[in-house]
């Protein structure tokens, strides 16, 4: 007996057997139950999500011998013939192979005739976007005003190529890509019905590789059964899909938590013997980091078939939550940049080095429980200063390391020395600009009064004032509230003080150049002039 592919054998024959697409099924079921069925439907979506399957089930609903309903019997002669593809009043057309206008006219010549056996004559045109412009023109009039006994069911993966005149004559339903869990659950049902043992991790891998398509997933499942000799095991699935072993990805993440660059790079280089797709490795690492972040944020998170809860708990305790976020961002950016690297392995290794470099620049590692613990002083320097020596000068120049010292919670602050105060606050962006453009005006208990430079009035927003209040509360060790008044005249603020210092430095640089002997020599001999606007302090 010939073998029937799983995608054909388990093709749904009723609406209640379909996976997903509830928004389409509800609309079609209500239309059938209330006898308000439109004459033309357009089903769009990526390959393998159920467009032609829904169209065939709808044809059965319209022509079932027990009556028109959303639940055809499936046993009458009409239902059986539609399932077997030999019902005379269901005309299926592959538009990709019948693009000529003569083919369309030949097809439409029979529209006027009543159905031979069924209640309706149903035209199912697949990949309708492949029709030529003349074919669409020939179809338009019939599509707009068909005989009462005709229904048009159109399917396409590329609705943008359809003329708007066709779109306006159809009820359009956009079928969604199926989620990984939907595809995996359907595969498990099929495997149990086929009495095939399986490993959940293998099914999950196939579902992820299906990329939202149920048909592609079942085709891959067939391929895995052939590859594995009838077994659905994780090892065979990874070998067939050429994906990296999850244990190797877990080891990469674990080494990121140890802050041992030498061991990390040795392990990364050992992956080369497996000839992996380094883009897939970074994808798998990013996916794992997302699960770790979920475990850190939601301790009750149980993971999935590929990411057991106990492994996630180990990584969640070993990695700082901020480092998880940073490594994830670095992984997806490195994945994007692989195409520009000298070769994939070099791009992969540089991505790991970036993760290590930026984590070292933070001056902290994760303590048990996932909380950050500062590393000890090195050579009498603070942890931040010590770590800055380990990173490149370019990173220091960009300000990624040499940050202002933070004020310890509960420390005694002299708010009257406002410039020194805000230098140590945990503030950034617009909130720091707001603080720098304010002058200290006094304190009354838990209320701190500030005056804002009128030239910076746009910075006075509720959210920025709240951030400044929170930063001061953390620094003072008590809850305080900030009240900001707009000054009537310019006030002496830290921002203005910094600008004056910069201007003085620039003036000094210009005077130094003007008095330089070489510059004076050029002026005297060649009549040269110094463009002072281009002078910048060193």
- 529 occurs within a structural domain: yes
Quote the CA–CA distance of 212 and 179 in Å, as a whole number. 6
- 211 occurs within a structural domain: yes
CATH number of the domain to which 258 belongs: 1.20.272.10
Note whether 333 and 236 are same-domain residues.
no
CATH number of the domain to which 199 belongs: 1.10.8.60
Note whether 211 and 331 are same-domain residues.
no
What's the pLDDT tens digit per position in 416-449? Answer: 888 888 888 888 888 888 999 999 988 888 899 9
- 468 occurs within a structural domain: yes
| Cβ–Cβ under 8 Å, residues 151 and 122 | yes
Note whether 22 and 168 are same-domain residues.
yes
Quote the CA–CA distance of 3 and 227 in Å, as a whole number. 16
User: Residue 186: which domain range?
Assistant: 180-241
Query: What confidence score (pLDDT) does residue 538 get?
Result: 57
Q: What is the tally of structural domains in the chain?
A: 5
Note whether 292 and 379 are same-domain residues.
yes
CA distances from 182 to 25, 178, 192 (A): 16, 6, 16
Neighbours of 257 (CB within 10 A): 21
Quote the CA–CA distance of 332 and 338 in Å, as a whole number. 10
Query: What confidence score (pLDDT) does residue 361 get?
Result: 52
Q: Look-up: residue for tokens 């498990």?
A: 188
Note whether 129 and 170 are same-domain residues.
yes
Note whether 163 and 273 are same-domain residues.
no
What's the pLDDT tens digit per position in 100-110? Answer: 777 788 778 88
Give me the average pLDDT of each 10-residue run along the chain (538 residues): 84 91 93 92 92 94 92 92 91 81 79 89 92 86 88 92 91 92 93 92 91 92 91 88 83 84 87 82 92 90 85 88 91 91 91 82 44 40 38 39 45 77 83 90 89 87 88 87 88 87 84 79 74 66
Pairing, β 40-44 against β 150-156: parallel
Token pair in block for residue 386: 């010590």
Write down which residue in 241, 265, 290 finishes a domain. 241
- 132 occurs within a structural domain: yes
- What order of strands is seen across the sheet that includes strand 481-486? 438-444, 447-452, 481-486
pTM for the model stands at: 0.59
Find all residues with CB under 8 Å of 501, minimum gap 6, and list them: none
- 309 occurs within a structural domain: yes
Note whether 214 and 263 are same-domain residues.
no
- 101 occurs within a structural domain: yes
- 403 occurs within a structural domain: no
CA torsion angle for 375, 398, 495, 452 (degrees, to 10)? -80
- 392 occurs within a structural domain: no
Write down which residue in 117, 151, 174 finishes a domain. 174
Note whether 45 and 152 are same-domain residues.
yes
| Cβ–Cβ under 8 Å, residues 356 and 253 | no
CATH number of the domain to which 22 belongs: 3.40.50.300
* Backbone Cα Rg of the chain: 35
Note whether 346 and 234 are same-domain residues.
no
Token pair in block for residue 137: 């023109």
Quote the CA–CA distance of 56 and 225 in Å, as a whole number. 29
* CB environment 222-240: b (16+ within 10 A), e (fewer): eebbeebeebbbbebbbeb
Q: Look-up: residue for tokens 């909130």?
A: 431
Write down which residue in 211, 226, 241 finishes a domain. 241
């Amino acid at each position: 007996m010939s073998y029937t592919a799983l995608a054909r054998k388990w093709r749904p024959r009723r609406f209640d057997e379909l996976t997903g697409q509830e928004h389409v099924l509800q609309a079609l079921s209500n239309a059938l139950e209330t006898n308000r069925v439109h004459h033309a439907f357009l089903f769009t979506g990526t390959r393998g999500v159920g467009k032609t399957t829904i169209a065939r089930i709808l044809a059965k609903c319209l022509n079932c011998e027990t009556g028109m309903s959303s639940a055809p019997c499936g046993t009458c002669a009409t239902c059986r013939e539609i399932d077997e593809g030999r019902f005379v009043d269901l005309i299926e057309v592959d538009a990709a192979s019948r693009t000529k206008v003569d083919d369309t006219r030949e097809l439409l010549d029979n529209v006027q005739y009543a159905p031979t056996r069924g209640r309706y004559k149903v035209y199912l045109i697949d990949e309708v976007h492949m029709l030529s412009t003349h074919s669409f023109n020939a179809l338009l009039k019939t599509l707009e005003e068909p005989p009462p006994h005709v229904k048009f069911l159109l399917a396409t993966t590329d609705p943008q190529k359809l003329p708007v005149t066709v779109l306006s004559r159809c009820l359009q339903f956009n079928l969604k890509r199926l989620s990984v869990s939907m595809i995996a659950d359907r595969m498990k049902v099929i495997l149990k019905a086929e009495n095939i043992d399986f490993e959940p991790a293998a099914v999950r891998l196939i579902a992820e590789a299906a990329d939202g398509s149920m048909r592609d997933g079942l085709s891959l499942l067939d391929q895995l059964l052939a590859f594995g000799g009838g077994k659905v095991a994780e090892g065979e699935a990874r070998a067939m899909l050429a994906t990296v072993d999850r244990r190797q990805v877990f080891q990469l993440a674990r080494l990121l938590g140890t802050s041992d660059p030498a061991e990390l790079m040795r392990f990364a280089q050992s992956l080369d013997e497996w000839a992996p797709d380094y883009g897939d490795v970074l994808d798998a690492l990013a996916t794992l980091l997302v699960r770790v972040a979920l475990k850190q944020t939601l301790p009750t998170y149980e993971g999935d078939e590929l990411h057991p809860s106990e492994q996630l708990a180990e990584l969640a305790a070993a990695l700082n939550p901020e480092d998880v976020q940073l490594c994830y961002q670095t992984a997806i950016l490195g994945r994007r940049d692989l195409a520009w690297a000298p070769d994939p392995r070099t791009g992969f290794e540089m991505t790991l080095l970036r993760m290590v470099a930026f984590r070292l620049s933070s001056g902290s590692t994760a303590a048990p429980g996932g909380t950050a613990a500062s590393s000890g002083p090195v050579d009498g320097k603070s942890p931040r200063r010590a770590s800055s020596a380990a990173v490149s000068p370019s990173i220091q120049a960009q300000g990624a390391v040499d940050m202002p010292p933070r004020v310890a919670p509960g420390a005694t602050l002299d708010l009257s020395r406002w410039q020194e105060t805000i230098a140590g606050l945990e503030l950034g962006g617009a909130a720091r600009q707001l603080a720098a453009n304010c002058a200290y005006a006094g304190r009354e208990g838990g209320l701190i009064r500030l005056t804002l430079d009128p030239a910076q009035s746009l910075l006075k927003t509720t959210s920025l004032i709240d951030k400044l209040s929170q930063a001061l509360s953390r620094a003072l060790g008590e809850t305080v509230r900030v009240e900001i008044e707009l000054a009537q005249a310019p006030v002496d603020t830290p921002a203005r003080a910094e600008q004056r210092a910069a201007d003085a430095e620039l003036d000094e640089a210009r005077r130094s150049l003007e008095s330089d002997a070489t510059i004076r020599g050029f002026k005297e001999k060649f009549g040269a002039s110094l463009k002072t606007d281009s002078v910048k302090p060193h």
